């Protein structure tokens, strides 16, 4: 049994736990939280470690990006979610190493011992070897990404409102979304609603009809993982909202203000002030680190290939769950999808299994219950495939809303989301349209003296919030229309195109 570092040397909360096994859970997402919950009444001491102090409900990030709900509606502090359990301590930190021989993990520069280790650090985005595109096209994985996307969309509309040239306005009203899976489609529908609503109601100079949203995907249809009928219904709904689909297309190059897409009919260049990336997912790097120090294998996406009980070969005390794992012990032999329900079910199973081992009870078997899949297309329209029962339109949306309210943790979030959705349904208004993130206006300088837009490099080390748009406008001015007319509009600072491109890095 592990030695001296339980709970950072604190006394156990209950005497019976003094010699209880120590379960370290790394990652407080769907999987990690459900491991802790399933171990609530077990005689174990749990340390939950996450590099964020909150659990994030990623399926609703697109609603944060488009101002429908705010950050607090989709996140819940881990101390509230699992920290209240008497046998659980929550620690903030990034686990950087695993030492399976010594049964230790390293985080915040120190080594801590475990008896059971659950790795559930999820996945991040990948740009398929083009990391330099990351700053031009934010992905959507964490809260900061969602807020950066919202900032770029709102900044572009604010700029368009002040732009006399109709072509430059068209550029500012154009959005490219890379990826036409559930995240891409949800994003496209929500961006269309946001821009049309904002332009019809809140901006005086902008023509909603000039909004252009292009979804790019290598496939020949949207939502390829869904049955064709639902994919067709989704496409029709998105087209009604003015979304264009550029199928069989792969992004070849990207720079501020322009995306070049290779298609069977040749390259297509799209000038757009805002580009959003929903295309690639890659498992957290902890999987690879684990593989380097054990005999376990990782698949092409960096997921750890696990045994039927989510352990790795030769290490029954190490379990890997959620997006970080590749679990193929299913009836059809296909790996579980990287989705919330498999992560949640795996987490619950692992917790129950460890509880059974510790209590010397018969161990459970894991079997995955597939509820189906769904994607929402606007604030009253979704497609759902629930174990063969297919719905689209309003009924699809009601089912989608119900499932998401059940899945999201915390009653406060459920109530807040329900109110905001009903409000949006009735009034079409959006609750969270604030353009925030101006560090110069609240950190380094006195608010009264702060510049707008902030100058590149001004203030603390985070990038100027308007830098991405400025770089796109620089490109448009110099390369598309060939003169710096629109540049002048943005150029209240002395930064050049190079400065602003550098600032968004
Ligand atoms: C935009 C978007 C939309 C989605 N929509 C849907 C949907 O509609 N339906 C659906 O079923 N699924 C959806 N998913 C997928 C779903 O969110 C994931 O499958 C699920 O979150 C995976 O859960 P997890 O516990 O494995 O990882 P996560 O929920 O990603 O949690 C991982 C946790 O680990 C922490 N962490 C990472 N590295 C470390 C480290 N080294 N040390 C400490 N902590 C670390 C992170 O901070 C995070 O809290 C969506 C995902 C995204 C990004």
Burial class (CB in 10 A: 0-12, 13-18, 19+), 483: exposed
Report the pLDDT value the prediction gives residue 305, as an integer from 0 to 100.
97
Is 186 among the catalytic positions? yes
Give CA–CA dist 233/384, Å, rounded.
11
Full-model pTM: 0.87
Q: Could you identify the residue written with the tokens 């498999």?
A: 342
Q: Check pLDDT > 90 for residue 437.
A: no
**What's the gap in Å between 200 CA and the centre of ligand 1?**
35
Q: Where are the beta strands (DSSP E) in 428-495?
A: none
**What's the gap in Å between 123 CA and the centre of ligand 1?**
6
Give CA–CA dist 144/101, Å, rounded.
37
Report the pLDDT value the prediction gives residue 73, as an integer from 0 to 100.
94
Vertex 32 angle, CA 359 and 409, to 5°: 110
Write down the mean pLDDT value for the chain.
Answer: 86
Vertex 408 angle, CA 407 and 412, to 5°: 140
Report the pLDDT value the prediction gives residue 133, as an integer from 0 to 100.
92
* Residue closest by Cα to atom 4 of ligand 1: 59
**pLDDT tens per residue across span 110-168:** 888 999 999 999 999 999 999 899 889 999 999 989 999 999 999 899 999 999 999 99
By most ligand atoms within 8 Å of CB, the mutation choice from 59, 186, 191, 401 for ligand 1 is 59
Model confidence at 461, in pLDDT bands (50, 70, 90)? Answer: very low
Could you give the domains of the chain? 6-51+93-125+282-358 (3.50.50.60), 131-279+374-427 (3.50.50.100), 439-503 (no CATH)
Report the pLDDT value the prediction gives residue 466, as an integer from 0 to 100.
67
**What's the gap in Å between 370 CA and the centre of ligand 1?**
18
Report the pLDDT value the prediction gives residue 484, as an integer from 0 to 100.
57
Report the pLDDT value the prediction gives residue 499, as an integer from 0 to 100.
38
Catalytic residue among 147, 186, 193, 258: 186
Report whether 171 contacts 212 (CB < 8 A). no
Report whether 140 contacts 187 (CB < 8 A). yes
Q: Check pLDDT > 80 for residue 409.
A: yes
Report whether 470 contacts 453 (CB < 8 A). yes
Q: Please state the atom number of ligand 1 nearest to the C-alpha of residue 142.
A: 53
Q: Cis link prior to 453 (omega < 30° from 0)?
A: yes
Report the pLDDT value the prediction gives residue 463, as an integer from 0 to 100.
45
Tokens representing residue 417 in the block = 């989301």
Give CA–CA dist 107/88, Å, rounded.
17
By most ligand atoms within 8 Å of CB, the mutation choice from 34, 37, 47, 58 for ligand 1 is 58
Report the pLDDT value the prediction gives residue 464, as an integer from 0 to 100.
55
Stronger pLDDT, 2 or 226, i.e. the higher one = 226
Report whether 271 contacts 169 (CB < 8 A). no
Report whether 175 contacts 261 (CB < 8 A). no
Report the pLDDT value the prediction gives residue 465, as an integer from 0 to 100.
56
**What's the gap in Å between 117 CA and the centre of ligand 1?**
18
By most ligand atoms within 8 Å of CB, the mutation choice from 126, 184, 340 for ligand 1 is 340
Counting residues of the chain whose pLDDT is more than 90, the rounded percentage is: 58
Q: Where are the beta strands (DSSP E) in 264-369?
A: 266-271, 274-277, 281-283, 304-305, 311-312, 315-320, 325-326
**pLDDT tens per residue across span 185-239:** 999 999 998 888 888 888 988 998 899 999 999 999 998 888 888 888 889 989 9
* Residue closest by Cα to atom 8 of ligand 1: 59
Vertex 343 angle, CA 234 and 135, to 5°: 65
Report the pLDDT value the prediction gives residue 504, as an integer from 0 to 100.
38
Strand order in the sheet with 212-216: 243-246, 212-216, 174-178, 274-277
Q: Please state the atom number of ligand 1 nearest to the C-alpha of residue 125.
A: 53
Spell out which residues line ligand 1, taking CB within 6 angstroms: 26-32, 49-52, 58-59, 61, 94-95, 120-122, 140-141, 182-183, 284, 286, 322-324, 338-341, 343
Report the pLDDT value the prediction gives residue 449, as an integer from 0 to 100.
53
Phi, psi at 228, each rounded to 5°: -55, -35
Stronger pLDDT, 500 or 418, i.e. the higher one = 418
């Amino acid at each position: 049994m592990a030695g001296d570092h339980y709970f950072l040397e604190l006394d156990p909360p209950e005497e019976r736990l003094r010699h209880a096994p120590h379960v370290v859970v790394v990652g407080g997402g769907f999987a990690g939280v459900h491991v802790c919950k399933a171990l609530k009444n077990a005689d174990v001491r749990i340390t939950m470690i996450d590099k964020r102090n909150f659990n994030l409900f990623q399926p609703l990030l697109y609603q944060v990006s488009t101002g429908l709900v705010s950050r607090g509606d989709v996140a819940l502090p881990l101390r509230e979610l699992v920290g209240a359990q008497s046998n659980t301590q929550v620690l903030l930190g990034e686990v950087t190493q695993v030492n399976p021989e010594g049964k230790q993990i390293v985080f915040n520069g120190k080594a801590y011992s475990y008896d059971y280790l659950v790795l559930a650090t999820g996945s991040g985005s990948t740009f398929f070897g083009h990391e330099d595109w990351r700053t031009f096209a934010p992905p959507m994985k964490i809260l900061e990404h969602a807020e950066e996307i919202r900032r770029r969309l709102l900044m572009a509309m604010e700029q368009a409102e002040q732009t006399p040239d109709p072509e430059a306005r068209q550029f500012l009203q154009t959005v490219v979304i890379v990826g036409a899976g559930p995240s891409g489609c949800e994003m496209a529908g929500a961006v269309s609603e946001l821009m049309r609503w904002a332009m019809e109601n809140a901006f005086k100079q902008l023509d909603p009809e000039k909004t252009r949203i292009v979804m790019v995907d290598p496939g020949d249809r949207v939502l390829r993982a869904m049955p064709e009928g639902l994919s067709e219904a989704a496409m029709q709904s998105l087209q009604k909202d003015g979304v264009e689909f550029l199928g069989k297309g792969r992004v070849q190059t990207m720079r501020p203000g322009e995306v070049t897409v290779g298609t069977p009919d040749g390259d297509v260049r799209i000038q757009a002030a805002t580009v959003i990336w929903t295309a690639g997912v890659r498992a957290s790097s902890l999987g690879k680190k684990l593989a380097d120090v054990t005999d376990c294998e990782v698949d092409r996406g960096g997921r750890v290939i696990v045994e039927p009980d989510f352990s790795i070969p030769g290490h029954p005390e190490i379990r890997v769950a959620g997006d970080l794992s590749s679990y193929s012990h299913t009836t059809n032999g296909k790996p579980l999808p990287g989705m919330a329900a498999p992560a949640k079910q795996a987490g619950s199973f692992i917790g129950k299994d460890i509880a059974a081992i510790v209590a010397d009870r018969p161990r459970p078997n894991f079997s995955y219950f597939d509820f189906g899949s769904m994607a929402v297309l606007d604030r009253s329209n979704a497609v759902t495939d629930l174990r063969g029962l297919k719905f689209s339109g309003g009924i699809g949306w009601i089912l989608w809303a119900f499932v998401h309210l059940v899945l999201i943790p915390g009653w406060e979030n459920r109530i807040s989301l329900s109110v905001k959705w009903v409000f949006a349904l009735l009034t079409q208004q959006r609750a969270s349209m604030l353009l925030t993130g101006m560090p110069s206006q609240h950190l380094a300088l006195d608010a009264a003296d702060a510049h707008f837009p902030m100058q590149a490099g001004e203030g603390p080390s985070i990038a100027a919030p308007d830098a991405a748009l400025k770089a796109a406008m620089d490109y448009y001015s110099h390369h598309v229309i060939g003169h710096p007319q629109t540049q002048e509009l943005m150029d209240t600072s002395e930064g050049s195109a190079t400065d602003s491109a550098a600032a968004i890095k």
